[in-house]
Structure formats: C-alpha cells, structure tokens
Amino acid sequence: MITSQTIKEVAGQLGTDLCGIAPANRFDQAPKGFHPRDLFPQVRSVLVLAKRVPEGPFHSRNPIPYSVANDVILAEVARLVCTLCIRLERLGRLCAVPVPSEPYEYWDAPNREGRGLLSLKHAGWLAGLGVMGKNTLLTNREFGNRICLGAILLDVKLEGDALADYQLCAQDCRRCIDACPSHAIGGSTVNQKLCRSHAQSRTAKGEPIYVCNNCRAVCPNGRGTLAAGIG
C-alpha cells in the first residue's frame, strides 16, 4: 500500500522542493465549485507540491528576468505534476488527477478576476506548506513566497501533514500594502483588477511580461531562510 512518505520521496526524486498532503475533508469550507470533489468525486487526499523561484530576478531593475523565471518555474511545476501522476499510478493502484495553476477555469474579463480549478495557495496552506501573508501569497518559512504551486488529487486515504504552526507577518507590518503602486492590497484580500492592470504588460514585440512584483519583493519574509544572505 502506498504511503505519504513514499509519495514524498518520489516527489523529491523528481525535483520537488516542497510537498505536503491534506485530507480532502479539510476543503469542506471551499466555495461551491472549488472543492476537490467538484473536480474528482473520488478524491480522498490532496497532494500539494512547490518549486522554488530563484531569488536573483527579484533584484533586477528590468522585469524580463523575473517574468522568464516565473514562467519557466510554472511550466516546470506543471510537468512535475503530470510526471508524478504517472509515477504514482505505476507504484500503486490509485488514480491521480493533476491540477496545474493555469489555465483558469473561471475568468471575469471586465474585472480581470480569475480562478483556477483549485485555489492552490489555500491547498498549500491546508497541506501544511506555509501560511497566508497580508499580500495573500502562501509563504513558507524556508522558501518564503518564492514558490510556484501545483496539486494532485488522489483517490487513496493518506496521512495528512499538520498545518504550519508559525506566523510570519508582523501585526504592524504594511510593507506589501504600502509598496503596491495600484493600491490593490487590503491586508487580507487583493483587488485582482487593480493588480493585473498594473502588473501585467507586454514588451514592444508584444510578449507578455510581469512589470511588478513589489508585494513579493519587499516582504521581510519573502526570501525565506535559505536566501536570507542574498542581495
């Protein structure tokens, strides 16, 4: 019988930096249409994994290094999720459903508000990978908010990880809120229209780029412990 430990070992061998597991019933408060069971009725466990985004691009004065790094890591996470599904289905008699961060299932064009198949940052929180910051990003003690997430829905019952037992945002800290040029951050929510209208742009050639990552970059916990000496 496949175990949580076996799954984490395989995920690590494939290059995953973080891996956590949440029983499906932890998602019972999810909005209608965004519970794992809405995607896969047989789900019993949700595996959430993360890859680290390199620290260097956050220190570049040009947005292209960050845009490329973020896109590459997102694609790598999607590949990891699918590869891990195949590996797990070979190891045990189970069904594994990949849940990448994109494309979005829901998109409100006028408000530029989108939702994926599953809220991966909330899934990561429920799987013990970190806590939610005031910038609404999942923040891990070791890697900070320099992570990209993916998930797998499994039809086997696995031992879940404990929720993160630490707090990272100081009560009086407003760095991400004050650094947002579009005033999109409210301390527990983000106005996606204001955020995307400023952060998403295109090069002169028409290629999409991210021109703002202030809320990630200025966070005193954003680097995590591993990158504390960089920059």
Distance CA 31, CA 117 (A): 12
**Cis omega before residue 31 (within 30°)?**
no
Q: Which residues does 209 contact at the CB level (< 8 Å), separation at least 6? A: 63, 64, 67, 200, 201, 202, 203
* The token pair that represents 2 in the structure block: 């496949």
Confidence category of residue 226, pLDDT binned at 50, 70, 90: low
Percent residues over pLDDT 70 in the chain = 97
pLDDT at 113: 83
Q: Are 148 and 51 in contact (CB under 8 A)?
A: yes
Confidence category of residue 155, pLDDT binned at 50, 70, 90: very high
Q: Exposure string (b/e) for 88-106, b if CB count within 10 Å is 16 or more? A: beeeeebebbbbbbeeeee
Q: Are 52 and 146 in contact (CB under 8 A)?
A: yes
Nearest to 104 by CA among 115, 95, 113, 96: 115
What is the residue range of 41's domain?
Answer: 1-231
Confidence category of residue 194, pLDDT binned at 50, 70, 90: very high
Q: How confident is the model over 47-87, as pLDDT tens digits?
A: 999 999 999 999 999 999 999 999 999 999 999 999 999 99
Predicted confidence (pLDDT) at residue 229 exceeds the cutoff of 70: no
For residue 154, give the DSSP letter.
E
pTM as predicted: 0.92
Nearest to 151 by CA among 82, 86, 95: 82
CA atoms within 13 A on the CB side of 226: 14
Angle between helices 64-91 and 4-13 (to 10 degrees): 130
Q: How far is CA 120 from the centre of its chain?
A: 5
Predicted confidence (pLDDT) at residue 104 exceeds the cutoff of 80: no
Calculate the average pLDDT of the chain: 92
Number of domains in the chain: 1
